[in-house]
Amino acid sequence: MGNDKNFTTEQLLKELNHVVPVIEDKNVGDIMLIVCHPDDEILFACATILHANKIKKTVDIVIVCYDLDSERIVEFMKHRSLFFNAHILQCQDDFTYDELKEKLITNVKLNELQHKEVITHGDYGEYNNNQHILVHKGVRDIIFPTNNYLYTFDPERRYNIHITIPLDEEIIREKQRLLQDYNSQNHLFSLRHTFSNCEYLNIEKGDEYPRG
């Protein structure tokens, strides 16, 4: 389906049969990306996604919030083809830590899946977004008992151990183009500008973090 912006809402919704709330089997990608809202994947991990596609690595994505027919999920479908598996947990904005953790275990089976890399929000929510912080805590507390490494968004480079992912002009243009798919978020111009030119991943180690 690609990134064709001429698709109607009805056509996009028909494609949602490729976006399921439950992982049915072990057919998983190389990288697991878990984000709170549709558009977070482009804001914080666009270069990672594009690079993975370029070198033939597959990326699974879990989006925590919103119903399947919500505007932002429909907008996400415009670049659904960037991902191997896409799963929508359909939480509402007031989700709790316990609700999220239960869905990540029951629906996504995050405690069983063995991706080579897991990437999610940072412990301060990139810009102190409380929902992003809850996603970080939920993913961290499930991942660390089975995998001692977790990659988290670190746009302000708060940590010494981080991976710098430079965005060349081509990737910046593509990132800006993909963000335009999210017309409903055009009012967040300053936020988009802040995170437009470079991406950073922090490397967290499980033995350095308490549970809960």
pTM for this entry: 0.86
Closest CA to 111 of 84, 131, 83, 138: 138
Which residue has 């009805």 as its token pair?
A: 10
Q: Kindly give the pairing relationship between strand 198-205 and strand 149-153.
A: antiparallel
Amino acid (1-letter code) at residue 135: V
Residue corresponding to tokens 């961290």: 140
50-59, 67-76, 131-140, 160-169: least confident range: 160-169
User: Confidence class of residue 21 from pLDDT cuts 50, 70 and 90?
Assistant: very low
Q: What is the DSSP letter of 25?
A: S
Q: pLDDT of 44-81, one tens digit each?
A: 999 999 999 999 999 999 999 988 778 898 899 889 89
Exposed / middle / buried, residue 57 (Cβ in 10 Å: 0-12, 13-18, 19+)? middle
Q: List, in sequence order, every residue forming a beta bridge with 88; answer none if it has no partner.
A: 63
DSSP single-letter state for residue 19: B
Give which of 159, 183, 149, 165 is closest to 39, Cα–Cα: 183
Rounded Cα gap, residues 73 and 37, in angstroms: 9
